[in-house]
């Protein structure tokens, strides 16, 4: 922890001798710890002998962020989007090799009908919020999904591993995922990953509504907008995390 804190506080790629000086640890011990943490991706080594806080460490920090803090950081953006689109907006997070919807914002217009997605678990193979997280995670995890049981919820639920493998690739190219009546007939959704750096997607945001409004064209439009909104939420999460740490 002493070494990690010394690297994090620097705010830049820091040389091994600087870390040793800042920590006061014996030189062999400090160098051994730096190399071990770099091997395990807790630290990144952009150039030999210089270190930054690693992607794996950042991912661990995000996974440990309480739901209430994540929701507090994302809620204003989701609320604005719900009023703008006139549809329910939701926030999801990866947890225990699954994805859960943890927060929903709905349109403020009481006369507007909308589809509330509900909270809780979503299958990794059949919901936009789950598929977009799976698409941007490690190859091994995607293969675990494809090799496991995949329940059919509607006639539109995809269960063929090759079809889903191709869809994951298409999601990475487009930047967002769609679910068209795969969980419930008459309901569609679109979701984009919340990414911080290159650590994959721990969270996602999405919009859901009736298929009569969620046409191909509108899903594409919302999907592109969600990518920009996800970047805004990612920044809010980083700012919120920094404020909490301070």
Report DSSP state, residue 113: -
Backbone φ and ψ for 40, nearest 5 degrees, come out as: -95, 10
CA distance linking residue 204 with residue 83, whole number of Å: 19
CA-based angle 201:1:138, to the nearest 5?
20
* pTM recorded for the entire structure: 0.74
Give the separation between CA 183 and CA 30, rounded to whole angstroms. 52
* pLDDT value at residue 197: 62
pLDDT tens-place values along the chain, 246 residues long: 888 888 877 778 888 899 888 888 999 999 899 988 888 878 888 888 888 887 767 666 666 667 787 788 888 999 999 999 999 999 999 887 788 999 999 998 878 889 999 999 999 899 999 999 999 887 778 888 888 889 999 999 999 999 999 999 999 999 999 999 999 999 999 999 988 766 567 889 999 999 999 999 999 999 999 999 998 888 877 665 544 544
């Amino acid at each position: 922890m002493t070494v990690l804190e010394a690297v994090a506080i620097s705010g830049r790629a820091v040389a091994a001798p600087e870390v040793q000086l800042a920590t006061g640890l014996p030189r062999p011990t400090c160098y051994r710890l730096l190399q071990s943490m770099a091997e395990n991706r807790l630290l990144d080594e952009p150039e030999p002998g210089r270190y930054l806080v690693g992607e794996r460490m950042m991912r661990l920090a995000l996974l440990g962020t309480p739901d209430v803090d994540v929701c507090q950081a994302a809620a204003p953006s989701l609320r604005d989007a719900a009023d703008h689109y006139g549809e329910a907006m939701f926030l999801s997070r990866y947890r225990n090799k699954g994805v859960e919807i943890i927060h929903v914002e709905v349109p403020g217009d009481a006369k507007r009908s909308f589809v509330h997605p509900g909270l809780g678990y979503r299958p990794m193979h059949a919901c936009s919020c789950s598929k977009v997280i799976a698409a941007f995670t490690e190859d091994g995890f995607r293969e675990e999904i494809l090799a496991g049981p995949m329940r059919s919820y509607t006639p539109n639920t995809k269960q063929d591993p090759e079809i889903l493998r191709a869809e994951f690739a298409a999601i990475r190219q487009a930047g967002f995922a769609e679910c068209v009546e795969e969980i419930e007939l008459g309901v569609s959704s679109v979701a984009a990953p919340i990414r911080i750096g290159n650590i994959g997607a721990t969270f996602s945001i999405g919009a859901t509504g009736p298929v009569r409004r969620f046409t191909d064209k509108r899903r594409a439009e919302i999907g592109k907008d969600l990518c920009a909104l996800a970047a805004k939420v990612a920044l809010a999460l980083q700012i919120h995390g920094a404020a909490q740490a301070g």
